[in-house]
Structures are given as structure tokens and as C-alpha cells.
Amino acid sequence: MVHVLRAADRAPSKSRTVRFEGAAYGTDISFFAVDNDPGQGPGLHTHPYPETWIVHSGLARIVAGDAVIEAGPGDIVVVPGGVKHKFTNVGEGRLVVFCVHDAGTMEQENLE
């Protein structure tokens, strides 16, 4: 069965970020389609599986373990499972980034 999740059918939220968990649709992939203003981003957290970020626009500062990385349009960053990480929009405009989770259902331990 093909699933189509129309933007118009999603309930309005306070954030422009979209959360998708694939298990309900027969896939083992989940993601956040992030759309953050300058200074925004999640606090330090971890997942038991890898997370892959694909930056569409803007500038993200990613902290992953001991590494601090700035990633811009077209950059891809992969963080292994179990590594503490977070990101912040350090650009002047909006940050659009896709955070792909290697799991049908997201598991996250918030550390901050």
C-alpha cells in the first residue's frame, strides 16, 4: 500500500518542524524535517541508533561527542548510535535540515 501524508492534513503545530515515524507506514526510517530560526535547536540527547543530517539551507553547529562541526547547504553528517549530540542554527536565516533516524520509531534520551 502506498501512503501519502499531505501537508494540508497535518494538525497545525507551534513549530515548523515536521516529525515522521515510519513504523506506522511499514518503513524502518523516521525523520524530523527541521525548520528553525537563528539560535534554535534541540538540547543534548542520544539515540540507540545512528542519525544522519542533511542540511538543505542555513548553517548548523553540530556537537557530537567531542567533535564540533559547522554544516551548511548540501553537507551530510552521520552520528553513530549512543553518541551524545545536539545542533544549533548559527546562521543569520532559517535552518532547514533533515534528521534521518535509522528506526521506525524514534527513541531519544534528553540529557539537558
Predicted confidence (pLDDT) per residue in 48-107, tens digit: 999 999 999 999 999 999 999 999 999 999 999 999 999 999 999 999 999 999 999 999
CATH architecture of 15-107: Sandwich (2.60)
Report how far apart, in Å, the C-alpha atoms of 27 and of each of 41, 49, 80, 103 are. 26, 15, 20, 8
Q: Is 53 exposed, middle or buried (0-12, 13-18, 19+ CB in 10 A)?
A: buried
Beta bridge partners of 81: none
- Spatial separation of the C-alpha atoms in residues 76 and 99, rounded to whole Å: 10
Q: How far apart are CA 93 and CA 37, in angstroms?
A: 7
CB 21 within 8 A of CB 85: no
Domain ranges of the chain: 15-107
pLDDT digits (tens, 9 = 90+) for 36-48: 999 999 999 999 9
Q: What is the pLDDT of residue 12?
A: 75
